[in-house]
Amino acid sequence: MAMIDHSTEAAPPPETRAMRLRNFWADYRQSWVAVAALIVIAALLLGSFFSPFWVPQNPYDLAGLDWLDAFLPPGTVGSGGYAHLLGTDNAGRDMLSAILYGLRTSFLIGLTAGVLALAIGITVGLTAAYFGGRIEALLMRVVDLQLSMPAILLALVMVAMLGQGIAQIIFALVVAQYAYFARTTHGAASVERRKDYIEAARSTPLPTSRIMFKHLLPNVLPPLIVVATVQVASAISLEATLSFLGVGLPLTEPSLGTLISNGFKYIHAGRYWLSIYPGIFLMITVVAINLVGDQVRKVLDPRNSR
C-alpha cells in the first residue's frame, strides 16, 4: 500500500519512464536466477506459439498419426523417420509436439484469464475506492468473501455450472481470480484517493472515468504487476488441475492438463513419459513465472530502494 508513495505525478514525462525502466532492469538483473527464469519463459512462449512451424508433427491432425507408433519410449525413431525425443502417446502422437501445442493452449488460457481478471479487478477496485460508501462496502464485502475461499473451489462451482470448454474454463478462472486484483487495486487506490491531487482533479469538470483511469490507475500499477505475474502462473496451474480432474478441457483440446490426465492412465504400465514430460513443462513454466514475480516484487518494494 505504501508502495506507491514515490510517484505522485499521474503521467510522468516519457524520458523519466525510460529511465525508470532502465533502473528497474538494473535492479532486476541482480538475481541471476530471476534472469534465467525470464529467459526460460521467453523460450517457452516463443517455442510454443510458433510450434506449428517447427515441431515434427501436428499432434491433433488425426490423419498424420500412425497407430503403430503408439507408446514409443523417448528417443525411438518412429514411422515418420525422425526420433521422438520425448516418446509417443497411446495414439502414436509425438509427445514433444503435443506438449508444445498444449503449452500454447495453457499460455493462451492463462494470459487471457489473467488479462480479463486484471481488467475486471481494476474496474471493481477503482470503482470501490473512488466512490466509497455503500458501493465500496458492498463490492469489497463480495471480494473479501471470495478471497476467503480457495480459488479451486470457486472454479469448481463455475465449471459445475458452465460445463467444459476453453471459454468456460477462462470464465471460471476469471471469476476465481479477479478478486485478488480488486483487493490489491482497492488497497493501493484508497491510499492514493486521499491525496490532494485527486481531490483537485475531482473539483474540475473532468469525467469520473477519466480521473479513475488516468490519475488513479498509474499509481496502483506497481503492486498489480506483481499480482498479475503470480495470477497468470496460478491460472495455468489451475487450468491444468481442472483438466486433470476431468472437469476442465475435454481430452480433444491439447493442454498440459489434458496431456497429463491422459498419461496418468498409463503410469502403472511403466509408460512414465506420457505424463512426466508434460508435467515437467508445467512445473518449469509455473516455477519460472513465480520466480520472476518474486524478483519483481523485491525490485518494486520501496523498502529495498537504493
Partner 1 sequence: MFGYLVGRLSQAVVVVFVMSVIVFVGVYAIGNPIDVMIDPGATAEIRENLIRQYGLDQPLWRQYFTFVGNVFQGDLGRSMVYNISVTSLVFSRLPATLELVLVSVTIAAVIGIPAGLYAGYRPNSIAAKLIMALSVLGFSVPTFWIGMLLIMAFAVELGWLPSGGRGEVGNFLWFQTSLATTNGWSHVILPAINLSLFKLGLLIRLTRAGMVEAMGAEYVRFARAQGLPDRQIVFSHILRNISIPVVTVFGLELGSTLAFAVVTETVFNWPGIGKLIIDSILQLDRPVMVSYLVMVVILFVIINLTVDLIYARLDPRVRLKGGS
**Residue 40 touches partner 1, criterion: CB under 8 A:** no
Alpha carbon 192 to chain centroid, angstroms: 27
Which one of 46-54, 100-108, 126-134, 238-246 is the stretch in contact with partner 1 (CB under 8 A)? Answer: 238-246
Report how far residue 269's alpha carbon sits from residue 277's, in angstroms, rounded to the nearest whole number.
16
C-beta of 281: minimal distance to partner 1 in Å? 11
**Residue for grid cell 489473467:** 114
C-beta of 266: minimal distance to partner 1 in Å? 11
**Greatest CA separation found in the chain?**
75
Closest CA to 281 of 107, 69, 71: 107
Q: How many residues in the shown chain lie near partner 1 by CB under 8 A?
A: 35
Which one of 46-54, 94-102, 111-119, 244-252 is the stretch in contact with partner 1 (CB under 8 A)? Answer: 244-252
C-beta of 186: minimal distance to partner 1 in Å? 17
The one among 157, 166, 191, 221 contacting partner 1 by CB under 8 A: 157
DSSP label at residue 77:
E
Q: Which lies closer to partner 1 via its Cβ, residue 233 or residue 296? A: 233
- Is the torsion defined by CA of 13, 15, 20, 21 positive or negative? positive
Q: Which of residues 271-300 bind partner 1 (CB under 8 A)?
A: 272, 275-276, 279, 282-283, 286-287, 290
Q: Which of residues 159-178 bind partner 1 (CB under 8 A)?
A: 159-163
**Residue 244 touches partner 1, criterion: CB under 8 A:** yes
C-beta of 268: minimal distance to partner 1 in Å? 6
The one among 14, 205, 270, 303 contacting partner 1 by CB under 8 A: 270
C-beta of 290: minimal distance to partner 1 in Å? 4
Contact present, 99 and 275 (Cβ < 8 Å): no
Question: Packing angle between helix 217-245 and helix 166-193, nearest 10 degrees?
Answer: 150
Beta-carbon contacts of 242 under 8 Å, excluding residues fewer than 6 positions away, are 152, 155, 156, 159, 169, 172, 248, 249, 257
Report how far residue 201's alpha carbon sits from residue 41's, in angstroms, rounded to the nearest whole number.
41
Closest CA to 292 of 85, 84, 31: 31
Q: CA torsion angle for 247, 244, 173, 235 (degrees, to 10)?
A: 180
**Residue 251 touches partner 1, criterion: CB under 8 A:** no
Which one of 36-44, 121-129, 206-214, 269-277 is the stretch in contact with partner 1 (CB under 8 A)? Answer: 269-277
Report how far residue 202's alpha carbon sits from residue 77's, in angstroms, rounded to the nearest whole number.
69
C-beta of 298: minimal distance to partner 1 in Å? 14
Q: Which lies closer to partner 1 via its Cβ, residue 162 or residue 201? A: 162
Residue 76 bridge partners (DSSP): 84
**Residue 246 touches partner 1, criterion: CB under 8 A:** yes
C-beta of 93: minimal distance to partner 1 in Å? 19
The one among 150, 250, 265, 304 contacting partner 1 by CB under 8 A: 150
